[in-house]
């Protein structure tokens, strides 16, 4: 009588073990291994009006997605030596910055600071510029370069502070032109 082949069982066990190792290694790399400071975030930029009529206030939002396992200081860290997160626009002629709105951070404790909380951003954070375009703003396609500066850490090590360039792109229309409010999920009064 021929023995039942054991090979399929062995193969299945190997595949399971191998898969578990891959998942485990990828998770470890995602959360713990330092990466370049700029690659800790992925960033998207949104404008609140389409188009932006001259004379009307509008907003630009920089939505920062922070890699799992990492945090960055909020705009108001609890210690003067810590580097705050900031956005700084380079405004073309005809634009005025009315305000920069940073959400509050979360007070969190970390393994390296078990007693003293740090005020940080984790996961996603939306930073906003309140702007106006006046009659000097050029009509048509417009770009506003924005410098996003932050300093990120994971649970055991920190990456150097970094300036990441992002750009707001939109159209400017004549005063009184009809404009559509867009991205309400980001810009509505109740949106975080």
Partner 1 sequence: MNIKNAKFAWVLCAVALLASGTFTACGGSSAKGSSSAKSLNAAPDVTFKNLDGADVPLASLKGKVVLVNFWATWCEPCRSEIPALIGLQDKYASKGFTMLGASMDEDGKKAIDPFVANTKFNVNGTEKTMDYPIVLGTDAITDKFGGLLGMPTSYLISRDGKIIKKYIGVVNEDDVTKDVEVALGQG
Q: Name beta bridge partners: 180.
A: 50
Stretch of residues binding partner 1 (CB under 8 A), selected from 6-14, 52-60, 140-148, 178-186: 6-14
Quote the distance between the C-alpha of residue 24 and its chain's center.
26
Q: Which residues ranging from 27 to 66 are in contact with partner 1 (CB under 8 A)? A: 28-29, 32-35
112 binds partner 1 (CB under 8 A): yes
Contacts with partner 1: how many residues (CB under 8 A)? 38
163 makes contact with partner 1 (CB under 8 A) = no
DSSP-assigned letters across all residues of 95-116: EEEEEEE----EEEEETTEEEE
| Least distance CB 112 / partner 1 (angstroms) | 4
Output 163 or 188, the one with its CB closest to partner 1: 163
Q: Tokens at residue 97, please?
A: 């910055």
Considering only 6, 93, 135, 192, the residue that binds partner 1 (CB under 8 A) is: 6
151 lines the binding site for partner 1 (CB under 8 A): yes
Ramachandran bin of 8, using left for φ above 0, alpha for ψ from -120 to 50, beta for the remaining angles:
alpha
- Interacting residues of 44 by C-beta distance below 8 A, sequence separation 6+: 62, 63, 65
Binding segment (CB under 8 A) for partner 1, from list 44-52, 100-108, 111-119, 136-144 = 111-119
Residue from 1, 3, 135, 189 touching partner 1 (CB under 8 A): that is 3
Closest contact distance (angstroms) between CB of 77 and partner 1 is: 9
Q: What are phi and psi of 26, to 5 degrees?
A: -65, -40
d(CA 62, CA 43): 7
The reply on whether position 159 binds partner 1 by CB under 8 A is: yes
Could you tell me the smallest distance in angstroms from the CB atom of residue 88 to partner 1? 16
Torsion 66-62-120-149 (CA) sign: positive
**CB under 8 Å to 38, separation ≥6 — which residues?**
162, 164
Give the interface with partner 1 as residue ranges (CB under 8 A). Answer: 3, 5-7, 10-11, 14, 17-18, 21-22, 24-25, 28-29, 32-35, 79, 81-83, 110-113, 118, 151, 153-161
């Amino acid at each position: 009588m021929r023995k039942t082949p054991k090979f399929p069982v062995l193969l299945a066990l190997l595949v399971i073990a191998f898969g578990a190792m891959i998942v485990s290694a990828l998770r470890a790399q995602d959360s713990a291994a330092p990466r370049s400071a700029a690659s800790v975030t992925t960033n998207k930029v949104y404008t609140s009006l389409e188009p932006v009529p001259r004379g009307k206030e509008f907003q630009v939002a920089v939505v920062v997605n922070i890699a799992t396992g990492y945090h960055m200081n909020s705009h108001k860290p609890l210690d003067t030596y810590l580097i705050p997160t900031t956005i700084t626009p380079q405004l073309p002629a005809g634009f005025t910055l009315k305000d920069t709105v940073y959400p509050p951070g979360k007070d969190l404790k970390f393994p390296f600071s078990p007693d003293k909380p740090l005020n940080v951003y984790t996961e996603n954070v939306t930073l906003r510029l309140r702007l106006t375009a006046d009659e000097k703003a050029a009509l048509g396609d417009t770009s506003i370069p924005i410098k996003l500066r932050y300093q990120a850490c994971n649970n055991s090590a920190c990456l150097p502070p970094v300036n990441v360039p992002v750009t707001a792109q939109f159209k400017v229309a004549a005063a009184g032109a009809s404009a559509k409010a867009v991205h309400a999920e980001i810009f509505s009064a109740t949106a975080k």
